Amino acid sequence: MATAQTDTGRSNQKKRTRTAIVEAARGLIGTGSEVTMPEVARVALVSEATAYRYFPDLPSLIGEALAGVWPDPVDALGPVADSRDPVERIAFACEFLLRGTLARQGGVRAMMAATIVRPDTANVRPGIRFGLIDHALAPLAATLGETDPDAFTQLKRGLAVVMASDALFTLTDQCGLTPDEAITSAARTAKTLTEAAVRTATEGQ
C-alpha cells in the first residue's frame, strides 16, 4: 500500500512538473518575448536539466504549449461566416493568422529557428494556416475545385507561402515594414491571388 501511494505521489509530481513547464512556455509565448529552454526552466522554477528530461528539445515543448492555443478555423472565421466571397474570407484569414503570429512571435521564431537546423522536427510546427486556407476557400471548392483542381491546389500553395510566419518576418525584419504594414501587404497579396482564381472559376462556368 505504501509503495502504491509513493508511486502515485511521484506520478502526480511528474504531472505537476510537466504542466508547470508547459504553462511557463505558454506564458512566455503569450508575451511575445524570446523563448528559450533556460528561460522556460527559470519561470517554471525547475532546472534546465529537468526541463530537458520532460522535453527533448525546444520544438517539442513549444508544439505542446501551442496546442489548443489557436482556435478552430471555423471559430476563427466566425466574423465572416456569412460571407460567400472567398476574397473577403481569405483577407480576414490572413490578417487573423499574422496578427496571431505576431502576438506569439517569441515562440514562433524559436520554432522556426529550431526547425531550420533540424528539418526532422518541422512536423511539430502548428499547421493552423492550412486549416484557415481550406475553410476560407470553401466557396471555391465547388467551382474552381471541381472545374480546375490543379489551379485550386496551386492557389492553396501560393496562399500557404504568403500566409506564413516566414513571409511576415521577411517583411518586418528585412523589408523594414511595420507589423501593420507587413500584414496589409501580405493580405493584399493573398487577395490578389484569390481574385485571380475567382476570375478563372467564373470564366470556367
pLDDT value at 8 more than 80: no
Higher pLDDT, 123 or 59: 59
Higher pLDDT, 176 or 9: 176
Residue 157 is predicted with a pLDDT of 96
pLDDT value at 98 more than 90: yes
Tell me whether residue 84 is exposed, middle or buried, using C-beta atoms within 10 angstroms of its C-beta: 0 to 12, 13 to 18, 19 or more: exposed
Q: Where along the chain do its domains lie?
A: 2-66, 73-203
What architecture (CATH level 2) is domain 2-66?
A: Orthogonal Bundle (1.10)
Q: What is the model's pTM?
A: 0.79
Residue 204 is predicted with a pLDDT of 58
pLDDT value at 45 more than 90: yes
Helices (H), the chain: 2-31, 37-44, 48-54, 58-66, 73-76, 86-103, 105-117, 128-136, 138-141, 144-147, 149-162, 165-169, 179-203
The string of pLDDT tens digits covering residues 132-147 is 999 999 999 989 989 9
Residue 48 is predicted with a pLDDT of 95
Higher pLDDT, 35 or 169: 169
